Each structure stands twice: as C-alpha cells, then as structure tokens.
C-alpha cells in the first residue's frame, strides 16, 4: 500500500500554540505526535465522540483521539442544518486580522461608518481596480475599506514595486488611485508592511484578488459591486445575534 505523507498542515504558517486546548492529556499527546512538527493553535473535542477539532491558523481539520485518522471538510449538524466548522474558521480569521495594526493598512473612512471590510489588493488586478473605482460609492454606503497588499506576482515584481511606491508616497490614497488608473507615480522605496501582508495572505490561504474579509471572519475571494456589497453587509448585520 502506498504511504501517504502528512503534508497538509505542515505547509501552514503558525505562530504559537494556544492555551485553549481542552483535550485530555493522553489524547492531546497522541494528536500532537501525529502532527509532527506542526504546532496547532488549538485542540478541542468536537461534538463527535472520539474526534477532535484541530485549528492551525484559519484551517480546521479533525483527528481521531489516537491521532491515526484525519479528515478535512465541513462538520455538519444535520439536526440544525448548519456547519460547525465555518464559525470556528471565521473565529480564527478574525484572530489573525486582529494581530495587524491599522497603521499598517491604508484605510478609507466614510463619514458615517456602518461596516468594515478588509481588502487584500493587487495594484494591477483588473477587478481590484474595478472595486477601487467604486470607492466613493462604498464610502457613501457607510462601508469602511481597509486595504492590505497582495501583489500576486510576488516580491520584486512590477506590482510589488508599485505597492511599495504607494506605501512610501506622501499621500498614499492619491498614489493608490493614480497607480490603479495606470498613471505614473514616483517609484520610491521605504520601510513597508508588504512582507507581513504576504505572510497573512499565505496564512489565510488567499488565492485570487481582491480577497475580502468581512467583520465576522467570512471571506470573499473576488469582487462584489458596491451596491451588492452594501446589501450583503446589511443582511449579515441583521442576522447577527443581539448582545
């Protein structure tokens, strides 16, 4: 029988183990041994007897108590007809983004903010440009937009250099608009958060741009027109449980 090398979690970037783990000592030891060099953020009992939820960044998998079997996918409560995996995933995404200071973002503030979205953007991405050209409509709808950089071509690429130049500009917002309009900007260099942004991109498993993260940790891999975005955010807010 062909041996399957455990590599799914080994590719994920993690910072440290969490103190939230609630697994019995014996089970946790077996699970950690099975994970090899990967340090999970948490190991917690799932609602299924003998199965544990293991979180690494925003990634959630399930392992048996002896650490032998692992499966990926959605754990569904068939009685309630709802995913038990997605809420945990969103919680971890929120935790990751909360570690980033807004000083390391370019933030567009509406006069009366009602919602906040975090957008990983590529200067040269067509749909990123489309979103940016609707910025005033987003702001008019009370949507606060926090930009982070995701130059998909990678470090040293033209898109990367443009992102760096935008960050280093005296007026970052004006430079962002100019760059997304294909107008020339001064190609300055300075200390910037691009490497940290790209670490988050990898940790979140983002692929396409714009990559949008909502306040509850839900992610949207792609552009939404401003009007549609406003409706979605209003619906999400209306569905939030009251405190």
Residue 201 near residue 140, CB atoms below 8 Å? no
- Axis-axis angle for helices 126-133, 172-180 (nearest 10): 130
* Catalytically annotated residues: 122, 125, 128, 152
Closest by Cα among 3, 49, 60, 4 to 27: 49
């Amino acid at each position: 029988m062909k041996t399957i090398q455990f590599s799914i979690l080994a590719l994920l970037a993690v910072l440290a183990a969490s103190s939230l783990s609630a697994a019995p000592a014996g089970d946790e030891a077996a699970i950690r041994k099975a994970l090899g060099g990967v340090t999970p953020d948490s190991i917690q009992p799932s609602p299924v007897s003998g199965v544990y939820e293991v979180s690494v960044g925003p990634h959630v998998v399930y392992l048996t108590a002896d650490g032998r079997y692992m499966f990926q996918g959605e754990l569904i409560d068939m009685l309630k007809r709802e995913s038990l995996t997605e809420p945990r995933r969103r919680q971890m995404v929120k935790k990751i983004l909360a570690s980033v200071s807004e000083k390391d973002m370019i933030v567009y503030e509406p006069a009366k903010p009602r919602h906040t979205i975090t957008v990983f953007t590529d200067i040269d991405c067509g749909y990123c440009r489309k979103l940016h050209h609707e910025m005033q409509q987003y702001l008019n709808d009370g949507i606060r937009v926090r930009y982070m950089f995701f130059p998909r071509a990678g470090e040293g690429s033209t898109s990367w250099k443009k992102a760096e130049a935008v960050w280093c500009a005296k007026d970052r917002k004006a430079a962002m608009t100019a760059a997304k309009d294909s107008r020339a900007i001064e190609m300055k260099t300075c200390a910037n958060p691009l490497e940290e942004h790209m670490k988050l991109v990898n940790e979140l498993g983002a692929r396409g741009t714009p990559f949008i993260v909502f306040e509850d940790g839900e992610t949207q891999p792609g552009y939404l027109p401003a009007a549609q975005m406003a409706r979605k955010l209003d619906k999400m807010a209306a569905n939030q449980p009251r405190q």
